[in-house]
A and B are shown apart, each in its own frame.
Chain A
Amino acid sequence: MDFNDKLPIYIQIMNYLKRKITSGEISECDKLPSVREFSSKLKVNPNTVQRAYQELEREDLVFTKRGMGTFVTEDDDVIMKLKKDTAKEVISNFIGEIKGLNFDDDEIIEIILNEIKKED
């Protein structure tokens, strides 16, 4: 993981973990690496990782069990909401760009359907 963005590191760590959760690489109830372990892997200050975990906890995506570590939420709804939020973000980016190509709405939908069929 590279941190060459201009964003705060803890937000980058959060985004990284969110991607892992939405893609299913880390699934419900999985234990996240310990702060020390993860900070050593990412080569960042443990306090930064701690902060990222705290922020994720505030968003209800993870929870801590005293003395056991940090775990991904068991609540499907929360994960579904994260997925939908992420999807919204992806789509709004997409729409922004495709509108720049000067297609009207029907044309856009048609292009999307064609592409999805190809993927299948």
Chain B
Amino acid sequence: MGNLVEIKKLSKNYFNKKALDNLDLNIEEGKVLGILGPNGSGKTTLIKILTGLLRQSKGEVLIDGHNVGVYTKSIVSYLPDRNFLYNWMTIEDAFKFYIDFYSDFDLKRGEELLDFMKLGKDMKITSLSKGMTEKLNLTLVLSRKAKLYILDEPIAGVDPVARDQILDAIIKNYDSNSSMIITTHLVRDMENLFDDVAFLKDGGIILKGNAEKLREEKGKSIDEIYKEIFSK
């Protein structure tokens, strides 16, 4: 299978600080890639470049053969690490918004997920707790039949029950025709979701590979490898 995402020699500088440094990474079609690293390692910078919220200083990013732009935005379903819906919206409005702008939105799937998350359509965005916001955002993002899902810290700061629901929703709605990128520093909770992992440190990838192979080679869980790399 081919690569859905190809990242070549990607750098991003903020004044004199390097957020990403000559980074190479490919994401295969149908695979779930975990980008692992502590806060400040460059995960969010990388994600923002893929979603078109940031521009690279150097290097190339191709998604489905295209530079980041209107087309890639139409095939990427992005879960930011914050509440990004407009404050005036109800959940119903947010659904309509997604239906209007994303032709790949599957209303049936959306309604099932909403039900599963125990959210009601008449709720106001501003009245939701952090966990509920995360669940709603994930509902919207997963209800699209996108080619690429990008989930930025999907379980950070939510309670264990919501965490289980979120993991469940991701597994149930992931389909093998799509690729998925998940960033996290909560490796233990999420490691079983990944086909491939990339460890990001100071804006560069210091280890990447197939998760199972890494477990086999190192005789360690991904979580243990993570701790080994980042506790130094």
Q: Write the residues of chain A forming the contact surface with B, with a CB cutoff of 8 angstroms.
A: 3-10, 36, 39-40, 42-48, 51
Contact = CB atoms under 8 A, between A and B. Distances in A.
Interface residues of B, number: 24
Interface of B: 30-32, 164, 167-168, 171-172, 174, 176, 192-195, 211-213, 215-216, 218-221, 224
B43 to A, nearest CB: 20
A45 B216 contact: no
Contacts of A5: 221
Given A6-B224, A8-B212, A48-B212, A43 B192 contact: yes
A9 B219 contact: no
Residue from A3, A5, A9, A51 with most neighbouring chain B CB atoms (10 Å): A9
Given A43-B171, A47-B32, A47-B176, A6 B219 contact: yes
Given A8-B213, A36-B171, 11 more contacts: A6-B221, A8-B212, A8-B216, A9-B215, A10-B212, A36-B172, A43-B164, A43-B193, A44-B192, A45-B192, A47-B176
Contact of A8 (B164, B171, B215): B215
Contacts of A7: 215-216
A20 B190 CA distance: 26
A8 B192 CA distance: 10
Contacts of A9: 192, 211-212, 215
Contacts of B195: 45, 47-48
Nearest to A10: B212
A40 B168 contact: yes
A46 B178 CA distance: 12
A39 B32 CA distance: 14
Given A6-B215, A6-B221, A46 B192 contact: no
A9 to B, nearest CB: 6
17 contacts: A3-B192, A5-B221, A6-B218, A7-B215, A7-B216, A8-B215, A40-B171, A42-B192, A43-B167, A44-B192, A45-B32, A45-B193, A45-B194, A47-B30, A47-B176, A48-B192, A48-B212
Contacts of B30: 47
B124 to A, nearest CB: 31
A7 B217 CA distance: 9
A90 B215 CA distance: 24
A48 B215 CA distance: 13
A44 B110 CA distance: 22
Q: List the 5 closest pairs (A to B, CB-CB), nearest first.
A: A44-B192, A8-B212, A6-B219, A40-B171, A8-B215
B76 to A, nearest CB: 20
Contacts of B216: 7-8
B31 A47 contact: yes
A19 B129 CA distance: 43
